[in-house]
Amino acid sequence: MNPRRSISSNPASTVKSRFTNGFLQALLRINRQRITSTTAYTPREIFRGYLRVKIAADVSMASAIGSRRAWSRAILRKVRSHGRDGAQVRRMSFLAMRKRNLYGNIKCVEDAGFHQANVLRKLVPGGEAMDMCCLLGETAHYIKCLKTQVKVMGRIAEVFST
Amino acid sequence: MDGHENEGILQCPSSGMSTNPLPEKVSGMIMNSVSMYKHSNGADPFFSSGWDPLVSLSHNENFGGSSMVSHREFASTPYPIVLENQGISGTSHLVQYPSSSTYVELVPKLPCLGSGSFSDMVNSFGLPECSQIVNSECPQNYASSKEDGTGRTSTNGALSQDDRQMSGEGAVGSSPNAKRRKRVSDYNNSPVSPRQNAAGETEKDLSGQSSDVQKESDEKKPKTEQNPGSNFRGKQTGKQGKNASSADGFKENYIHVRARRGQATNSHSLAERVRREKISERMRLLQELVPGCNKITGKAVMLDEIINYVQSLQQQVEFLSMKLATVNPEQNVDIEQILSKDIINSRSGTGAILGFGPGTSSSHRFHRGTFQGTLPSISSTTSKYPLLPQTVLDNELHGLFQVGFDSCPAVDNLGSNGHFKPEL
């Protein structure tokens, strides 16, 4: 896969390489912690480890992108403020929708694709506060990054399994 | 949509130019080339910082100013520079990057990227017939612009012959821009420095379609001393018959959109049209990203496909993270090994993982029966995307682990453990 954009002139600092580095570091940390813990193989621990790895993957991808895209900012925001209670989260999403109504030309339900747009907003991180135009742009970028993520993680799994 | 594009790109408002097959071809080529250009060029608007095309185009700005006046022929070398300036104008209206615009009429980025980079495409793809077509269009535009500029004939003499021909050339490229100038409410543009390229704006004025009150009123004041065609523009202010946004007044930092022939000239519908075109542009890009969506025409179906694809990608990530959580890494993990996967096709690679992963090393930690029970169902699941059967796996896993679990403590654990500090 071609390296995508580089922030610096260094050709090795692509999104993919940054993500790989960050993710591998997180993986090694998680594994070290898992090895030291005694009950490593109960289902509960396995599930916890799975969640950790999943969040590590998302966060390392968002960090590789930085603050350039709204979805990466949303992921980092979510991680930094993971202690919010549910009520506050709902309040935030309500405010986000109001903001979207204000700034984006949101059309009402009759627009073809309103329902799908809502589903898409839930899928793409940070999609609540976006109008359709921005949402589509963010979705495109997000899809590209997800593809990178899948490829790199697949490769890592291969390397680890051999 | 394509019909409107054809109309918009090469239409002279007061000319009797009948539609000929050439406009469709040019517009079609423009549209195709936009997508090709976006992919072949590294400055992808999504993946560049957004301003890389601007940076690369701005290098030509200086060249464009000097070479503009010199050429008479419709050679391909001055032509791209002419259009590069159009491109600069087009892409430069965006909020965060006010400096390198040459034109204040700020057009939506994406359509103009197509038109402005047309010259790049002509050069880079080496389509000689493309430049021939455009060159043959230009005399027509030039002639028609001559016809409808009754008040302009006197001022035409004031300008050099070169400028007129440049404008004729530029008319093709600029006419897509000319069609999209309108104050859009959600398009909050910062004050852009008025065009530094005097010759370029002359040429913009000369093209028959591009008569805008707003732009001229802005530019007149700072540019009168530079621009030889300022009286020309003054005369052109009288010719605002079809400009729907003239009623908006003389405001700066607006996107100027012209009503197309036969379209409603209400400002709301113009804004709607701009917004719809932006959205359809993004949908086209998404169509190329999502596999198997080339034949889908329809927003709702396309959105369904996009949703399915995003969901499947997210599930793949979840599956792989589950796999990685259970596998013990080797001591020396070579990053080069991971980054240099050149041969592996994503399909076959990840398909191999799916096929063998659960069954081999990691599965002994799970309920073996569950996985082996799911594997046959995986093969029977029809899916478009290579790893969609993970939905089955996921359900099983969640069923396994959600009994008596609450995931919140697990997540809280993560924060306190500091595993996921963003400074990764």
Output B64 or A155, whichever has higher pLDDT. Answer: A155
What DSSP string describes B131-182?
HHHHHHHHHHHHHHHHHH-TTTHHHHTTS-HHHHHHHHHHHHHHHHHHT---
A90 contact B CB<8A: no
What's chain B's length in residues? 424
Q: Which residues numbered 397-416 in B keep a CB inside 8 Å of some CB on A? A: 397, 400-401, 405, 407, 410-415
What's chain A's length in residues? 162
| Alpha carbon distance B324, B354 (integer Å) | 12
Summarize pLDDT for A138-155 with one digit per residue, the tens. 999 999 999 999 998 888
Cβ distance of A153 and B321 shorter than 8 Å: yes
Cβ distance of B333 and A160 shorter than 8 Å: yes
Q: Are B14 and B147 in contact (CB under 8 A)?
A: yes
| Alpha carbon distance B279, A133 (integer Å) | 5
- The predicted pLDDT at position B315 comes to 92
DSSP class of residue B255 equals: -
- The predicted pLDDT at position A158 comes to 83
Residue B399 buriedness (CB in 10 A; 0-12 / 13-18 / 19+)? exposed
Residues of A in contact with B285 (CB under 8 A): 136, 140
| Alpha carbon distance B355, B389 (integer Å) | 11
The pLDDT of residue B60 is above 80:
no
Contacts of A39 (CB under 8 A, 6+ apart): A45
The pLDDT of residue A54 is above 70:
yes
Percentage of residues in chain B having pLDDT higher than 90: 3
Summarize pLDDT for B179-222 with one digit per residue, the tens. 444 444 444 444 444 444 444 444 444 444 444 444 444 444 44
Residue with tokens 């050099």: B160
B417 contact A CB<8A: yes
Q: Are B422 and B351 in contact (CB under 8 A)?
A: no
| Alpha carbon distance B125, B120 (integer Å) | 8
Complex ipTM = 0.84
- The predicted pLDDT at position B309 comes to 92
Percentage of residues in chain A having pLDDT higher than 70: 75
Summarize pLDDT for A76-122 with one digit per residue, the tens. 888 888 766 656 666 766 777 777 666 555 555 556 677 888 888 88
Summarize pLDDT for B272-284 with one digit per residue, the tens. 889 889 988 898 8
Summarize pLDDT for B286-301 with one digit per residue, the tens. 888 888 888 888 888 8
Q: Which residues pair with A6 in a beta bridge?
A: A14
Q: Are B31 and B5 in contact (CB under 8 A)?
A: yes
Average pLDDT on B163-179 reads 44
Q: Could you count the other beta carbons within 10 Å of the beta carbon of residue B73?
A: 11
B289 contact A CB<8A: yes
What's the whole-number average pLDDT of chain B? Answer: 52
A8 contact B CB<8A: no
Q: How far is B109 from chain A (nearest CA, A)?
A: 13
Q: Which residue of A has its CA nearest to B358?
A: A161
| Alpha carbon distance B117, B186 (integer Å) | 25
- The predicted pLDDT at position A90 comes to 66
Q: Which residue of A has its CA nearest to B351?
A: A154
Summarize pLDDT for B104-156 with one digit per residue, the tens. 444 444 444 444 444 444 444 444 444 444 444 444 444 444 444 444 444 44
Cβ distance of B329 and A28 shorter than 8 Å: yes
Q: Which residues numbered 11-70 in B keep a CB inside 8 Å of some CB on A? A: 44, 46-49, 52
- The predicted pLDDT at position B213 comes to 42
Summarize pLDDT for B323-382 with one digit per residue, the tens. 888 877 666 666 666 666 654 444 444 444 444 444 444 444 444 444 444 444 443 443
Q: How far is B136 from chain A (nearest CA, A)?
A: 36
Cβ distance of A31 and B328 shorter than 8 Å: yes
- The predicted pLDDT at position A143 comes to 92
- The predicted pLDDT at position A142 comes to 92
B328 contact A CB<8A: yes
Residues of A in contact with B328 (CB under 8 A): 31, 160
Of B67, B69, B43, residue with least CA distance to B57:
B43
Summarize pLDDT for B380-411 with one digit per residue, the tens. 443 445 544 444 444 555 555 554 444 444 44
Average pLDDT on B233-251 reads 44
Signed CA dihedral, B159, B164, B170, B176: sign only: positive
- The predicted pLDDT at position A37 comes to 74
Q: Which residue of B has its CA nearest to A47?
A: B401
The pLDDT of residue B320 is above 50:
yes
- The predicted pLDDT at position B313 comes to 92
Average pLDDT on A55-67 reads 87
- The predicted pLDDT at position B216 comes to 43
Q: Which residue of A has its CA nearest to B307?
A: A120
Q: How far is B260 from chain A (nearest CA, A)?
A: 22
Cβ distance of A143 and B333 shorter than 8 Å: no
Percentage of residues in chain B having pLDDT higher than 70: 17
Q: Which two tokens stand for residue A148?
A: 């990178």
What DSSP string describes B183-206?
--TT--PPPPPPPS-HHHHHHHHH
